[in-house]
């Protein structure tokens, strides 16, 4: 089994990265004890009291027993951490976004080729969501025919009072399309079996009153597959109201030639309890599928990739394509495309 170290605990997504690896039997050699958000460190300490804090990233980079460096650092710092790790002979698991600009993407791609190390990004809204795993299985089985279009909605709760300063600075988080919409771009490529896509529309805006005017709290993207005729639309925002009992009402609509699927990933706002609700409509009728017990295989596959030098959890080609498309969407939106 593999050993991993954590360099960069600035975002709460680090919890599910650590938990997923530990659940599959990986060993954690330690986590860097510095963070821009003390609450995230407190969360690690309370959730994983058995883990060891270290004072220097070099202790983890230079530890020969460590095969994998895991990071949920400030987004703009993740590429640098990944490059250091790979040049120390480690594979990397990064929270999304793995990069925040084109230069970082080019550097990470070059170091992957240079070192032969693995660079994986966890797009958690697909990779650790059972209802999406079920949707993938149904699509593979032909339940809705050929996928024609995906519509991905990613609303998030802002919680402005508890966010660190970097959260509101585009130079640190990369912009709403690079940060959040990368999830939906990943889902579009995966569910339509597309190797690449074209960004046909992208826009960002600021509507809220709780943040400074340059903070992007709304974004949208339209995509066209380069592999087939599939289309996609993405809407992301920071306007989840306080009355919702979870951080966001993530929804995904998948239209096929013989039916459609709707996912309510995190709750059914006026009905069934729990998470991972899938609604399927096909020639036989309509039905609800509870997906909470659908297996999550991402972390198991990632460990296998580290051990066997494979790319089953996420390929480099796919990870880099998602990153590039998110950056292209941000660049198009920055030009004022409406």
Report pTM. Answer: 0.96
pLDDT of res. 234: 98
pLDDT of res. 210: 84
Question: 3-state class of 130 per DSSP?
Answer: helix
Q: Which two tokens stand for residue 293?
A: 């017990």
- CA separation for the pair 63, 2 (Å, rounded): 13
pLDDT of res. 291: 97
pLDDT of res. 200: 97
| 3-122 and 126-296, same CATH topology | no
CATH 3.40.50.720 fits 3-122, yes or no: yes
- Give per-residue pLDDT as tens, 117-127: 999 999 999 99
CB under 8 A, 24+ apart: contacts of 262-265? 263/131, 263/132, 263/135, 264/131, 265/125, 265/129, 265/131, 265/132
Q: Which residues of the chain have pLDDT under 70?
A: 337-338
pLDDT of res. 112: 98
- Residue-by-residue DSSP string for 25-93: T-EEEEEES--S-HHHHHHHHHH-TTSPEES-HHHHHT-TT--EEEEE--GGGHHHHHHHHHHTT-EEE
Closest to 117 (Cα-Cα) out of 309, 331, 327: 309
pLDDT of res. 226: 97
Query: Hey, what CATH class is 126-296 in?
Result: alpha beta
Domain definitions of the chain by residue range: 3-122, 126-296
pLDDT of res. 338: 44
270: burial class by Cβ within 10 Å (0-12, 13-18, 19+)?
A: exposed
pLDDT of res. 152: 98
List, in order, residues 6 or more apart from 228 with CB less than 8 Å away.
Answer: 146, 192, 193, 194
Count of alpha carbons within 13 Å of 209, Cβ hemisphere only?
0
Alpha carbon of 300 to those of 190, 253, 309, 319, 329: distances in Å? 19, 27, 14, 18, 32
- CA separation for the pair 181, 321 (Å, rounded): 13
Closest to 71 (Cα-Cα) out of 58, 85, 53, 59: 85
């Amino acid at each position: 089994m593999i050993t991993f170290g954590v360099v960069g605990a600035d975002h709460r997504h680090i919890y599910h990265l650590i938990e997923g690896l530990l659940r599959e039997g990986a060993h954690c050699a330690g986590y860097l004890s510095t963070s821009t958000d003390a609450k995230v460190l407190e969360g690690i300490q309370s959730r994983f009291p058995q883990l060891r804090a270290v004072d220097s990233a070099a202790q983890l980079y230079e530890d020969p027993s460590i095969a994998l460096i895991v990071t949920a650092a400030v987004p703009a710092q993740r590429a640098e951490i990944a490059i250091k790790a790979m040049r120390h002979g480690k594979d990397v698991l990064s929270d999304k976004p793995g990069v925040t600009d084109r230069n970082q993407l080019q550097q990470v791609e070059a170091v992957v080729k240079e070192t032969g190390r693995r660079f994986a990004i966890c797009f958690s809204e697909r990779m650790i969501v059972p209802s999406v795993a079920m949707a993938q299985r149904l699509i593979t089985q032909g339940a809705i025919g050929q996928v024609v279009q995906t519509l991905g909605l990613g609303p998030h709760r802002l919680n402005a009072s508890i966010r660190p300063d970097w959260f509101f600075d585009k130079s640190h988080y990369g912009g709403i399309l690079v940060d959040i919409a990368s999830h939906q771009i990943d889902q579009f490529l995966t569910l339509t079996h597309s190797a690449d896509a074209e960004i046909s529309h992208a826009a960002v805006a600021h509507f809220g009153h709780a943040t400074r005017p340059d903070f992007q709290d709304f974004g949208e993207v339209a995509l066209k597959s380069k592999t087939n005729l599939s289309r996609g639309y993405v809407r992301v925002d920071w306007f989840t109201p306080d009355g919702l009992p979870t951080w966001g009402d993530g929804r995904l609509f998948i239209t096929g030639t013989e039916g459609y699927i709707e996912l309510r990933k995190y709750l059914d706002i006026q009905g069934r309890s729990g998470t991972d609700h899938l609604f399927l409509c096909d020639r036989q009728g309509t039905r609800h599928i509870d997906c909470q017990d659908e297996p999550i295989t991402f972390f198991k596959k990632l460990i296998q990739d580290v051990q066997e030098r494979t790319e089953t959890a996420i390929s480099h080609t796919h990870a880099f394509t998602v990153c590039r498309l998110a950056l292209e969407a941000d660049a198009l939106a920055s030009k004022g495309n409406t």
